[in-house]
Amino acid sequence: MSTLASLADITGAYYAYGRNADGSAYDGMVVIGQNADGSFAVNWTVGTTYSGTGVLAGQVLTVEWGAPDPAVYVVMPDGDLHGTWADGTGLELLSRTPR
């Protein structure tokens, strides 16, 4: 998959399903948009609203969102993004379809 195809493929709205570091579950929505410089604006609404800026390297999206550790997602072949945050103790699935 070319870089341009990868860039176009990840923008849009996603359903978010996650597990906090303490084991509690959450869900919500995430919107990913592309900035003029090629980075990505990522906005989470998961009970609380968070925002960050991401960089796509191959199929890995790394998002700085104000926490000590970034959120890191792998773009899966089906278009879902599987990610970790809080130094790998938090987990998150971003899907274009509800689960």
| pLDDT tens, the chain, 99 aa long | 444 444 448 999 999 999 999 999 999 999 999 999 999 999 999 999 999 999 999 999 999 999 999 999 999 999 999 999 999 999 999 999 999
Distance CA 99, CA 79 (A): 14
Distance CA 39, CA 34 (A): 6
Q: Please give the tally of structural domains in the chain.
A: 1
Domain housing 82: 3-95
CA distances in angstroms from 36 to 14, 33, 39, 55, 74, listed in the order given: 21, 10, 7, 12, 22
Identify the CATH number of the domain in which residue 60 sits. 2.40.128.20
Distance of alpha carbon 71 from the chain centroid: 7
